[in-house]
Amino acid sequence: MPLKVNVLSLARKSEHVTGELPAAEIAEGYRDELVSMGSPLAYDLDLEHQADGILMTGRLAMTVNCRCRRCLESFEQAVEIPAFAAVVPLEGEGAATCDGDFADLTPFLREDMYLVLPTNPLCSPNCCGLLKKSAEGVPDSEPPEDSGESPWGALDQLKL
Protein backbone atom coordinates (compact mmCIF):
# COMPACT_ATOMS: atom_id res chain seq x y z
CA MET A 1 0.00 0.00 0.00
CA PRO A 2 1.52 3.31 -1.02
CA LEU A 3 1.03 6.32 1.21
CA LYS A 4 -1.77 8.39 -0.28
CA VAL A 5 -3.52 11.38 1.16
CA ASN A 6 -6.81 13.01 0.32
CA VAL A 7 -5.79 16.47 -0.82
CA LEU A 8 -9.23 18.01 -0.38
CA SER A 9 -9.65 16.94 3.21
CA LEU A 10 -6.03 17.86 3.94
CA ALA A 11 -6.76 21.39 2.69
CA ARG A 12 -9.42 21.63 5.39
CA LYS A 13 -7.47 20.01 8.17
CA SER A 14 -3.83 18.97 8.71
CA GLU A 15 -3.22 15.30 9.35
CA HIS A 16 -0.86 13.14 11.33
CA VAL A 17 -0.11 9.79 9.72
CA THR A 18 1.89 6.85 10.98
CA GLY A 19 2.40 3.51 9.35
CA GLU A 20 4.71 1.40 7.27
CA LEU A 21 5.47 1.13 3.60
CA PRO A 22 6.41 -2.39 2.46
CA ALA A 23 10.07 -2.88 1.62
CA ALA A 24 9.10 -3.76 -1.96
CA GLU A 25 7.42 -0.38 -2.32
CA ILE A 26 10.63 1.37 -1.33
CA ALA A 27 12.96 -0.91 -3.25
CA GLU A 28 11.23 -0.12 -6.53
CA GLY A 29 13.90 1.15 -8.90
CA TYR A 30 16.68 0.79 -6.36
CA ARG A 31 19.66 -1.18 -7.59
CA ASP A 32 22.65 -1.76 -5.41
CA GLU A 33 24.65 -4.94 -5.18
CA LEU A 34 25.52 -4.42 -1.55
CA VAL A 35 22.38 -2.88 -0.10
CA SER A 36 18.81 -4.17 -0.09
CA MET A 37 15.69 -3.19 1.79
CA GLY A 38 15.37 -5.33 4.88
CA SER A 39 12.29 -3.98 6.58
CA PRO A 40 9.28 -1.83 5.82
CA LEU A 41 9.82 1.90 5.96
CA ALA A 42 8.22 3.27 9.11
CA TYR A 43 6.86 6.79 8.85
CA ASP A 44 5.52 9.19 11.41
CA LEU A 45 4.52 12.38 9.65
CA ASP A 46 2.62 15.60 9.96
CA LEU A 47 0.97 16.62 6.70
CA GLU A 48 -0.04 20.16 5.99
CA HIS A 49 -1.60 21.64 2.88
CA GLN A 50 0.28 24.73 1.76
CA ALA A 51 0.20 27.07 -1.21
CA ASP A 52 3.05 25.23 -2.94
CA GLY A 53 2.02 21.70 -2.09
CA ILE A 54 1.90 19.31 0.82
CA LEU A 55 4.43 19.88 3.58
CA MET A 56 5.58 16.64 5.20
CA THR A 57 7.54 16.78 8.43
CA GLY A 58 8.42 13.98 10.80
CA ARG A 59 10.50 10.88 10.99
CA LEU A 60 11.41 8.01 8.66
CA ALA A 61 13.21 4.83 9.66
CA MET A 62 14.01 1.42 8.23
CA THR A 63 16.53 -1.39 8.36
CA VAL A 64 18.58 -2.34 5.34
CA ASN A 65 20.52 -5.51 4.62
CA CYS A 66 24.09 -4.73 3.70
CA ARG A 67 27.03 -6.70 2.48
CA CYS A 68 30.41 -5.40 3.57
CA ARG A 69 32.31 -4.18 0.53
CA ARG A 70 35.58 -5.44 2.00
CA CYS A 71 34.81 -8.86 3.48
CA LEU A 72 31.35 -9.49 1.92
CA GLU A 73 29.86 -10.39 5.27
CA SER A 74 26.14 -9.64 5.65
CA PHE A 75 24.89 -7.31 8.31
CA GLU A 76 21.90 -5.13 9.06
CA GLN A 77 22.00 -1.43 9.39
CA ALA A 78 19.33 0.89 10.72
CA VAL A 79 18.81 4.06 8.73
CA GLU A 80 16.78 6.94 9.96
CA ILE A 81 15.82 10.46 9.01
CA PRO A 82 14.89 11.90 12.40
CA ALA A 83 13.98 15.34 11.09
CA PHE A 84 12.47 14.66 7.72
CA ALA A 85 10.93 17.57 5.85
CA ALA A 86 9.79 17.80 2.25
CA VAL A 87 7.25 19.62 0.15
CA VAL A 88 5.28 17.54 -2.32
CA PRO A 89 4.25 19.73 -5.25
CA LEU A 90 0.70 19.17 -6.50
CA GLU A 91 1.12 21.02 -9.76
CA GLY A 92 3.75 21.44 -12.43
CA GLU A 93 6.93 19.49 -12.98
CA GLY A 94 7.64 16.80 -10.44
CA ALA A 95 4.12 16.98 -9.05
CA ALA A 96 2.69 14.09 -7.08
CA THR A 97 0.70 11.51 -9.00
CA CYS A 98 -2.96 11.97 -8.18
CA ASP A 99 -5.63 9.34 -8.21
CA GLY A 100 -8.85 11.28 -7.91
CA ASP A 101 -8.46 13.40 -4.82
CA PHE A 102 -5.62 11.27 -3.52
CA ALA A 103 -1.98 12.28 -3.98
CA ASP A 104 0.68 9.58 -3.78
CA LEU A 105 3.41 10.62 -1.36
CA THR A 106 5.38 7.38 -1.64
CA PRO A 107 7.93 8.48 -4.29
CA PHE A 108 8.91 11.47 -2.16
CA LEU A 109 9.61 9.32 0.87
CA ARG A 110 11.52 6.87 -1.31
CA GLU A 111 13.66 9.60 -2.84
CA ASP A 112 14.81 10.99 0.48
CA MET A 113 15.40 7.56 1.94
CA TYR A 114 17.74 6.69 -0.93
CA LEU A 115 19.89 9.66 -0.02
CA VAL A 116 20.70 8.27 3.40
CA LEU A 117 21.26 4.64 2.44
CA PRO A 118 24.84 3.44 2.90
CA THR A 119 26.75 3.64 -0.36
CA ASN A 120 29.92 1.81 0.67
CA PRO A 121 28.78 -0.48 3.46
CA LEU A 122 31.41 -1.71 5.90
CA CYS A 123 30.70 -4.25 8.65
CA SER A 124 32.99 -2.19 10.85
CA PRO A 125 35.19 0.82 10.20
CA ASN A 126 38.24 -1.36 10.89
CA CYS A 127 37.24 -4.23 8.64
CA CYS A 128 40.38 -5.56 7.03
CA GLY A 129 38.44 -7.34 4.33
CA LEU A 130 39.42 -10.69 2.96
CA LEU A 131 42.57 -10.64 5.09
CA LYS A 132 40.26 -10.94 8.08
CA LYS A 133 40.52 -14.70 8.38
CA SER A 134 44.30 -14.90 8.10
CA ALA A 135 44.71 -11.95 10.44
CA GLU A 136 42.69 -13.60 13.17
CA GLY A 137 44.62 -14.00 16.39
CA VAL A 138 47.09 -11.35 15.40
CA PRO A 139 46.87 -8.38 17.72
CA ASP A 140 45.86 -5.33 15.77
CA SER A 141 48.05 -3.01 17.79
CA GLU A 142 50.45 -2.58 14.92
CA PRO A 143 49.91 0.83 13.41
CA PRO A 144 49.13 0.73 9.71
CA GLU A 145 51.98 1.78 7.49
CA ASP A 146 51.79 5.28 6.19
CA SER A 147 49.76 4.78 3.08
CA GLY A 148 50.34 8.32 1.95
CA GLU A 149 46.78 9.24 2.87
CA SER A 150 48.02 12.40 4.46
CA PRO A 151 50.04 14.70 2.23
CA TRP A 152 52.02 15.71 5.31
CA GLY A 153 53.22 12.17 5.77
CA ALA A 154 54.93 12.24 2.40
CA LEU A 155 56.42 15.65 3.09
CA ASP A 156 57.82 14.49 6.41
CA GLN A 157 59.55 11.63 4.69
CA LEU A 158 61.13 14.01 2.19
CA LYS A 159 62.54 16.07 5.04
CA LEU A 160 64.19 12.99 6.51
Listed residue (135, 154, 82) closest to 113, CA to CA: 82
Find the part of the chain contacting Zn ion (CB under 5 A) among 14-22, 45-53, 79-87, 121-129: 121-129
Applying CB under 5 A, the site for Zn ion has a residue count of: 6
Q: Say whether residue 127 binds Zn ion (CB under 5 A).
A: yes
The enclosing H or E element of 48 equals strand 41-50
Find the part of the chain contacting Zn ion (CB under 5 A) among 11-19, 53-61, 103-111, 125-133: 125-133
Total residues belonging to the chain: 160
Q: Which position among 10, 17, 34, 71 is part of the footprint of Zn ion (CB under 5 A)?
A: 71
Three-state SS at 113: helix
Q: Say whether residue 42 binds Zn ion (CB under 5 A).
A: no
Read off the DSSP letter of residue 130. Answer: G
Q: Which position among 37, 45, 68, 88 is part of the footprint of Zn ion (CB under 5 A)?
A: 68
Identify which of residues 95 and 130 has a Cβ nearer to Zn ion in the complex: 130
Q: How far out from the chain centre does Cα 122 lie?
A: 15
